[in-house]
C-alpha cells in the first residue's frame, strides 16, 4: 500500500469544512514565497492544512528536490499559519484526498503548475468549483535561489534594509524606490501577524551601529529603532535571545528554535507554569500563553559575507527576515543584529535583558574568536545539544546543488532560465578556495 493510500485508509473527516483550507506543494528549501502563499490561504479560513509531495513524485513531475521529505515537513510544520501538514499528498490534487481530511477548498497562486504530462495539477478541483486563487509572492522562487547559487551572484545583497524600506536605497527612480520600499514594508507587516494572519503578532526592530560593532567583538550600545509593535512579552514570560544569519532558512535553524522552546517549556514545567492554578490565573486574565518569548537577531548581508565570503548569504536580509518572522517559534525580530551580542547590546534591548542567550551546535561560520563571551560572562548563555538536523545549513544546501549541478541546470532550463556555463561554476570554485584559505588562517591564529 502506498503512503498516499495509507493516508486515505485512516478515519475520514466527518464533514467538509468551508473554513478548513488546503494548499499543497513541494516546499523545497522553504522561502518567504512559500510562507506568503500559506498566509494568504490561512486568511481565507480558520484552519490551514498543507499537503507535502513525496520526493519520488516531485522527481517524476518536476525534477530532483534539494531537501528530503522529512526536512520539508519540518519547514511546513514551523510556519505559524499552518494547522496541520499532510505528507505524501498527490502531485495532482485529488478530490477524494482533500475531502478525506475535511477540506472543501484548495488555494494556489496565480501561476500555472503542471504535471509530467503538461496537464494542470488542479484540473479536478477546478472542475468541481473548489479552487481559489491568491497572488504569487513577487521576486522570489526556488528557481531564483538555485540560480544565485549556480551563477554565484551578489546583486541580491542589501546594504541597509531600513533605508530600502524607507525608499531611500535600491535601484530605479526615486518614485520606483519609494514604491518598492512601501511594497516590501507591507510584506514585513503581513509576515509579522499572529497565527490568524490578521492581527499584529511579532515585534520588529532595527539595530544600527558601526561596522566594527556589527562585525567584530566591539562594545557599542548602538541604537534600537522600532519598526512594528507586536504583542510584546506577557507577564511571567522569560525573554530569550537567539541570533544568526538564518540563510536558506532550513530544518537546521528550525530544529534549533524548536529545541529552544522545548528547553524553556521543561524549565517552566519545573517551576509550576503548567499547574492548573497557574493556567486558570492566566486564562482568567484573558488567555493562556507560552512561558517563553523568543527574540531573534538577524545579521546584515555585509556581516555574513565578511565571515563566510563567496556569495553568502544566498538570501538577503529582507528575505531571511521574512523567513524568521513566519516561524511560529519566534516572537520578535531584530534586523541588523551584531555578530557578537555584547553586554551593552543585550542590556540595551527594548524587550528587556534576555534571561538566556541560546546558541546551537552548528558551525557554519568560521570563527577567530568566541562571539558569545559576553552572555557567558553574564551567566545567561546556554547551548542547545546536538539534534537530527544540525548539519543542515546554507553551506550544505549549496553543496547539494553543486554536487548535482547538471540535474539542477536542466531543471533551470525547463523553467526558462538561461544556461549557467562553466565560467560561473569556475568563479564559485575560486571564491570557495579563497574562503577556505581564509578560514584556515583564522583557525591557525585563533
The pLDDT tens digits of the residues spanning 36-91 come to 999 999 999 999 999 999 999 999 998 888 899 999 999 999 999 999 999 999 99
Spatial distance between the Cα atoms of 58 and 113, rounded to a whole number of angstroms: 12
Q: DSSP characters for 8-49?
A: HHSPPPSS-EEEEEEEEE---S--HHHHHHHHHHHTTSSEEE
Q: Which helix or strand (DSSP H or E) is residue 239 part of?
A: strand 238-244
Q: How large is the angle between the packed helices 317-325 and 32-42, nearest 10 degrees?
A: 40
Percent of residues, the chain, with pLDDT higher than 90? 70
Closest among 93, 103, 95 to 24, alpha carbons compared: 93
Task: Give me the pLDDT at residue 369, please.
Answer: 80
Q: What is the mean pLDDT of residues 20-48?
A: 94
Q: What is the mean pLDDT of residues 231-260?
A: 96
pLDDT tens-digit readout, 311-352: 999 999 999 999 999 999 999 999 999 999 999 999 999 999
pLDDT at 444 > cutoff 60: no
Task: Give me the pLDDT at residue 436, please.
Answer: 63
Task: Give me the pLDDT at residue 401, please.
Answer: 84
- pLDDT band at 152; cut points 50, 70, 90: confident
- pLDDT band at 216; cut points 50, 70, 90: confident
Cβ count within 10 A of residue 354: 22
Spatial distance between the Cα atoms of 282 and 235, rounded to a whole number of angstroms: 9
Mean pLDDT estimate for the chain: 90
Q: Which helix or strand (DSSP H or E) is residue 162 part of?
A: helix 161-165
pLDDT at 438 > cutoff 70: no
Of the listed ranges 11-20, 391-400, 420-429, the least confidently predicted one is 420-429
Q: What is the mean pLDDT of residues 148-154?
A: 85
Q: What share of the chain is helix, strand, coil (3-state, %, to 5)?
A: 40, 15, 45
CA distances from 330 to 251, 314, 401 (A): 15, 22, 29
Task: Give me the pLDDT at residue 250, please.
Answer: 92
pLDDT tens-digit readout, 273-310: 999 999 999 999 999 999 999 999 999 999 999 989 88
Task: Give me the pLDDT at residue 241, please.
Answer: 98
Q: Which helix or strand (DSSP H or E) is residue 19 part of?
A: strand 17-25
- pLDDT band at 183; cut points 50, 70, 90: very high
pLDDT at 1 > cutoff 50: no
Q: What is the mean pLDDT of residues 215-228?
A: 92
pLDDT tens-digit readout, 384-398: 999 999 999 988 998
Q: What does pTM read for this prediction?
A: 0.90
Task: Give me the pLDDT at residue 408, please.
Answer: 58
Percent of residues, the chain, with pLDDT higher than 70? 88
pLDDT at 168 > cutoff 90: yes
pLDDT at 425 > cutoff 80: no
Task: Give me the pLDDT at residue 422, please.
Answer: 56
Q: Which residues contact 209 (CB under 8 A, 6 or more apart)?
A: 220, 221, 222, 223, 336, 338
Q: What is the mean pLDDT of residues 144-156?
A: 85
- pLDDT band at 217; cut points 50, 70, 90: confident
Q: Which three cell numbers stand for residue 352?
A: 528587556
pLDDT at 234 > cutoff 50: yes
Spatial distance between the Cα atoms of 357 and 348, rounded to a whole number of angstroms: 14
Spatial distance between the Cα atoms of 262 and 86, rounded to a whole number of angstroms: 23
Using alpha carbons only, give the angle 253, 33, 314 rounded to the nearest 5 degrees: 55
Task: Give me the pLDDT at residue 60, please.
Answer: 92
Q: What is the mean pLDDT of residues 187-198?
A: 96
**Cis-peptide into 444, omega within 30 deg:** no
Amino acid at each position: 500500500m502506498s503512503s498516499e493510500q495509507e493516508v486515505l485508509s485512516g478515519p475520514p473527516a466527518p464533514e467538509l469544512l468551508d473554513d478548513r483550507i488546503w494548499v499543497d506543494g513541494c516546499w523545497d528549501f522553504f522561502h518567504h514565497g512559500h510562507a506568503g502563499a500559506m498566509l494568504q490561504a490561512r486568511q481565507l479560513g480558520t484552519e490551514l492544512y498543507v499537503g507535502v509531495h513525496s520526493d519520488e513524485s516531485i522527481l517524476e513531475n518536476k525534477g530532483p528536490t534539494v531537501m528530503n521529505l522529512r526536512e520539508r515537513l519540518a519547514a511546513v510544520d514551523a510556519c505559524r499559519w499552518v494547522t496541520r501538514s499532510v505528507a505524501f499528498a498527490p502531485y495532482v490534487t485529488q478530490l477524494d484526498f482533500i475531502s478525506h481530511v475535511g477540506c472543501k477548498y484548495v488555494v494556489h497562486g496565480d501561476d500555472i503548475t503542471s504535471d509530467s504530462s503538461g496537464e494542470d495539477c488542479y484540473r479536478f478541483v477546478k472542475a468541481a468549483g473548489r479552487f481559489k486563487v491568491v497572488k504569487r509572492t513577487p521576486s522570489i522562487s526556488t528557481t531564483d535561489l538555485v540560480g544565485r547559487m549556480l551563477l554565484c551572484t551578489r546583486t541580491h545583497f542589501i546594504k541597509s534594509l531600513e533605508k530600502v524600506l524607507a525608499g531611500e536605497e535600491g535601484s530605479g527612480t526615486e518614485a520606483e524606490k519609494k514604491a518598492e520600499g512601501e511594497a516590501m514594508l507591507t510584506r514585513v507587516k503581513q509576515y509579522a501577524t499572529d497565527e490568524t494572519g490578521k492581527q499584529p503578532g511579532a515585534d520588529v526592530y532595527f539595530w544600527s551601529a558601526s561596522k566594527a560593532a556589527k562585525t567584530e567583538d566591539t562594545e557599542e550600545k548602538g541604537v534600537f529603532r522600532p519598526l512594528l509593535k507586536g504583542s510584546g512579552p506577557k507577564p511571567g514570560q522569560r525573554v530569550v535571545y537567539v541570533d544568526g544569519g538564518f540563510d536558506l532558512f532550513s530544518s537546521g535553524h528550525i530544529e534549533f528554535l524548536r529545541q529552544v522552546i522545548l528547553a524553556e517549556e521543561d524549565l517552566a514545567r519545573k517551576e509550576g507554569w503548567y499547574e492548573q492554578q497557574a493556567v486558570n490565573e492566566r486564562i482568567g486574565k484573558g488567555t493562556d500563553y507560552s512561558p517563553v518569548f523568543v527574540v531573534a537577531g538577524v545579521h546584515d548581508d555585509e556581516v555574513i559575507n565578511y565571515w563566510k565570503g563567496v556569495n553568502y548569504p544566498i538570501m538577503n536580509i529582507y528575505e531571511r527576515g521574512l523567513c524568521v518572522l513566519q516561524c511560529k517559534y519566534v516572537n520578535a525580530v531584530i534586523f541588523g543584529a551584531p555578530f557578537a551580542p555584547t553586554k551593552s547590546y543585550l542590556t540595551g534591548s527594548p524587550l528587556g535583558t534576555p534571561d538566556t542567550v541560546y546558541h546551537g551546535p552548528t558551525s557554519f561560520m568560521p570563527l577567530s574568536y568566541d562571539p558569545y563571551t559576553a552572555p557567558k560572562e553574564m551567566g545567561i548563555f546556554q547551548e542547545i545539544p546536538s539534534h537530527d538536523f544540525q548539519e543542515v545549513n546554507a553551506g550544505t544546501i549549496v553543496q547539494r546543488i553543486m554536487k548535482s549541478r547538471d540535474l539542477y541546470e536542466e531543471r533551470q532550463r525547463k523553467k526558462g532560465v538561461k544556461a549557467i556555463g562553466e565560467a560561473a561554476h569556475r568563479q564559485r570554485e575560486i571564491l570557495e578556495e579563497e574562503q577556505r584559505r581564509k578560514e584556515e588562517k583564522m583557525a591557525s591564529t585563533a
